[in-house]
Amino acid sequence: MKRSPVSPLNKALFERLKSQMFAPIYDYVPVGKKAPYVVLTDTTAESWSTKTVSGSEVMATIKVYSEYQGDKEVAQLCDGAISAIRSQSLTLTDGWQVVMCSVDSHTVERLESCREAAVTFKFTIIDTEEG
């Protein structure tokens, strides 16, 4: 991999979620922040190439936090995030293009004081400036 799509992808994810969700979106959680909110967390990229195209397979995880003791709010927020990200292709900068997006995994954990859900998206991204 000569360059990485992680920064352009995270920027696009942040902007898309921020524009389409009612809960606050963060790339870190401010101290004392009251739930509900959505946080961009882990992102990993693995390079791949063919004779004519190169790119990366990227796994990007968001976490959703809710203080509601049932699963309703966290489930609605996860559904909203999935819908926002998958509704239309993300536009990336710096010559990167998302060609496929899917939900790789989705979990909900019942913690003592809140619900924590994680949704991991799998992106296939091509590098239009390399090949």
**Which pLDDT does position 69 carry in this prediction?**
86
pLDDT of residue 2: 80
Architecture (CATH level 2) of domain 6-127: 2-Layer Sandwich (3.30)
> Which residue, 51, 128, 66, is CA-closest to 97?
128
Rounded Cα–Cα distance for residues 38 and 95 (Å): 27
Is the alpha carbon torsion for 2, 16, 58, 117 positive or negative?
positive
Domain ranges of the chain: 6-127
Walk along the chain (131 residues) in steps of 10 and give the mean pLDDT of each run.
91 97 93 94 94 94 94 96 96 96 96 94 93 57
Residue 29: the pLDDT is 86
Q: What confidence score (pLDDT) does residue 131 get?
A: 57
Cβ atoms 46, 56 nearer than 8 A = yes
